[in-house]
Amino acid sequence: MGKDAYNWTFGPLGGAVRVNIRKGADIAHLGELDRKLWTVLSCPVNGLEFDQKTLGLLDSDSDGRIHVDEVIAASKWLTSVLKDPEVLMDGRSELKLSDFNSETEEGAKLQKSASQILSNLKLEKDSICLDDTADNAKIFADTLFNGDGVITEASAGGDETLAATIKTIDGICGGVPDRSGVNGVTAEQIEAFYAAVADYSAWQDAAGPETKPYGDDTPDALAAVEAVKAKVADFFMRCKLAGFDSDALPAVDVDVEKIKAISNGDLSAVDSEIVTYPLARPNVKGELPLETGLNPAWKGAFAKVKALVLDKDFPGKASITEADWDAVLAKFGPYCAWLADKKGEAVESLGLDAVKTLLKEDKKAALLDLVEKDKALESEALSIESVDKLLHLTRDFKKFLNNYVSFHDFYEDGQDSIFQAGQLYIDQRRLDLCIKVSDMGKHGDMAGLSGMFIIYCACVSKVTGKSFDIAAVITDGNVNTLRVGKNAIFYDRAGEVYDATITKIIDNPISVKQAFWGPYRKFGRWISERFTKKVSEKENKGFEGMTAKAEATELPEAGAAPAAAPAKPSSFDIAKFAGIFAAIGMAVAYLTQGLVAIAKGAANLGLWKVLLVLVALMLVISGPAMILAWLKLRKRDLGPVLNANGWAINATSYVNTKFGAGLTKLAKLPRLTAVDPKARRRARWRRFLWILFLLAVLAVAACFLCCKFGWHSFTWCPFC
């Protein structure tokens, strides 16, 4: 360090030397701390047990991660706007107005904004807290302008015409809420509204007599014509084909056979079939009747055309030609062109009279002037939001540093770190080191490097429907009963309960004691599995033989004398189980022989020598597992688990045996004086049999070594 370098203090924490953040000056000089000394280089915003608004404020670039540079920038900003950085060490959510550093431009601006907030809330006090800044709507409730560029009806200052116009624009353009939570309009919406008003008025003015050939009925007339237009064209084409060749008339006319096919049923139910028939019966003259002779399925639609159009253009006529129809269609040309050029339809619902009135009043300039007045207060309003940011960081920044610069909260008793999601209860224990998993794939690849025993659980709340995965670290207790599919209960930091189910297990040593008994447990499981396998094979083989014989047996024919019943197979086949009984007998004999050998050895060599040999054998069997477990337990590291969750861990975070024991709380059961005598005797017998079994195994091992290496030093060995 240079002569003028800041004098940092360090201390041991989590098996590593870490920097201490003990005073406000440490935070003020945080930018000078070598990045190699930070415990964390970046962390995710989501999935942490920390105030989400504070995390969002620290994530200045909104990329979902908080990097070292963002933390340093926050520390510089905080210590520049506060008079004494020591207030950051208290974790307070309240600041006195005198705590603001009025000697800096931004500090003075924040102090003024804090005073403005108190004034708006009509609070007479010399301090401001998070409760005062929590509700923007409350702060700006009685203000005409609040610097967001959104004006409301209240912004009109009592001008009823302006207020009514703002309300109209809000209704047409949708409006946006301002800082007070009330809907208002922006300059862009005002411009768009008046442009639409002008366009709609100009479009309506462009309509002449020719654009509405049927007056106010023109829209309905066009709709009626469009509904039958295709069917009329089809009719005249059929007439042309009939005129081209009179022999074609039956072909283009309605097929009588089709009518016969449907005539036996309810004709009103086959309207979809009748509607496909011609509009009227084709004729060589090419005349379309207006009343009689029309397809009944089209008569209603055509009656609208006749009433709105044909009775006006061809009064008294019983039929029209194709030329007449084309003339009708041509009359709608100017109207269709005018419709295609329609503009300002957004304000059409107001009606033409209201649009004309709005144009005449022309309040556009006055409204835009109100917007400019509102925007003039933008910096002041933003400063009010900055006061809220300052209060959040004043309360939370020290705690965040204790989980970022160092893992002080994790390693200190009685405090939970921000990555600890809650507590898992399983197998009469409580697991405190539970971390929400964001990506199970990453955890599968990386978390195993931690050297910790981890169970992954899927957690589901039936009340809220929320679900997530957790990685729970087991650091104490027995793990023999843990398996995939086992159920548990998880409580998050808020106390909400979730049903948890084990989905995956990463097996690593938990304690040296467990490692000592590991080889014997494995040997016991191996014997149990082998015995179970052999018995199962014999059982399956016997069942297959029995079913094969049953299938091969022929049933007697009806009336035939019943065949002699075959001998009933024995339920216990000695031949099949001879191997098992022999194995069990040999094992019992071998164990008995080992116990006799131990007794002889004790008589010949002395009890202490026998015990010494047994201890040595136990160390030979369990020693390697214990040493391996001890080495792994010394290197259990939380870093890979957090790295798999998106953290960039920069320093080792060991979880040694002593510290790890505090992360798993075992059930403490009282010693009862009144217990079941039978259960007591059974427990004593189990312990006695286990001791006998262990002694026999060690005796056999001793005899084997004695004979294998030619020592013959044990006079009590039955094989020497």
Residue 661 lies in a domain: no
Q: Is the Cβ–Cβ distance between 636 and 660 less than 8 Å?
A: yes
The encoded tokens of residue 122 equal 């009509």
Separation of CA 484 from chain center: 23
Same domain, yes or no: 431 and 467? yes
> d(Cα 521, Cα 515) in Å, to the nearest integer?
10
Same domain, yes or no: 464 and 598? no
Helix, strand, coil content of the chain in percent (nearest 5): 55, 10, 35
Same domain, yes or no: 713 and 607? yes
Angle at 166 between CA 162 and CA 171, to 5 degrees: 150
Query: Whole-model pTM?
Result: 0.61
Q: State the number of CA atoms in the 13 A half-sphere of 518 facing the CB.
A: 20
Same domain, yes or no: 99 and 130? yes
Q: State the number of CA atoms in the 13 A half-sphere of 624 facing the CB.
A: 4
Indicate the residue type of 188.
E
Residue 121 lies in a domain: yes
**Where does residue 79 rank: exposed (0-12), middle (13-18), buried (19+ CB within 10 A)?**
buried
The encoded tokens of residue 336 equal 């269709």
Residues 6+ apart with CB under 8 A from 268: none
Residue 555 lies in a domain: no
| pLDDT attached to residue 523 | 60
Same domain, yes or no: 256 and 331? yes
Owning domain of residue 216: 209-340
Helix/strand/coil for 356: helix
Same domain, yes or no: 43 and 116? yes
Number of residues assigned to the chain:
720
Same domain, yes or no: 128 and 161? no
Same domain, yes or no: 331 and 362? no
Residue 64 gets the label, from left (phi > 0), alpha (psi -120 to 50) or beta, of left
Same domain, yes or no: 580 and 720? yes
Which residues does the chain have with pLDDT short of 50?
Answer: 1, 561, 564-577, 581, 583, 602, 605-607, 716
Angle at 636 between CA 515 and CA 67, to 5 degrees: 165
| pLDDT attached to residue 254 | 82
Structure-token match 């096919």, residue found: 261
**What is the number of structural domains in the chain?**
5
Residue 324 lies in a domain: yes
> d(Cα 190, Cα 371) in Å, to the nearest integer?
10
Helix/strand/coil for 610: helix
Same domain, yes or no: 302 and 216? yes
> d(Cα 650, Cα 642) in Å, to the nearest integer?
11
Residue 481 lies in a domain: yes
> d(Cα 324, Cα 313) in Å, to the nearest integer?
9
- CB neighbour burial string for 370-393, b if at least 16 within 10 angstroms, e if fewer: bbeebbebeeebebbebbbbbbbb
Indicate the residue type of 562.
P
Structure-token match 């963002």, residue found: 70
Residue 47 lies in a domain: yes
The encoded tokens of residue 225 equal 């014509």
| pLDDT attached to residue 443 | 77
Residues 6+ apart with CB under 8 A from 595: 692, 695, 696, 699
- CB neighbour burial string for 641-652, b if at least 16 within 10 angstroms, e if fewer: bbbbbbbbbbbe
Same domain, yes or no: 500 and 482? yes
Q: State the number of CA atoms in the 13 A half-sphere of 286 facing the CB.
A: 15
> d(Cα 160, Cα 674) in Å, to the nearest integer?
87
> d(Cα 223, Cα 341) in Å, to the nearest integer?
18
Q: State the number of CA atoms in the 13 A half-sphere of 405 facing the CB.
A: 28
Same domain, yes or no: 333 and 288? yes
Residue 185 lies in a domain: yes
Structure-token match 């006695």, residue found: 688
| pLDDT attached to residue 357 | 92
Q: State the number of CA atoms in the 13 A half-sphere of 245 facing the CB.
A: 5
> d(Cα 80, Cα 677) in Å, to the nearest integer?
74
Q: At what angle do helices 364-375 and 187-205 cross, to 10 degrees?
A: 170
Beta strands per DSSP E along 274-376: 288-289, 319-320
> d(Cα 366, Cα 159) in Å, to the nearest integer?
11
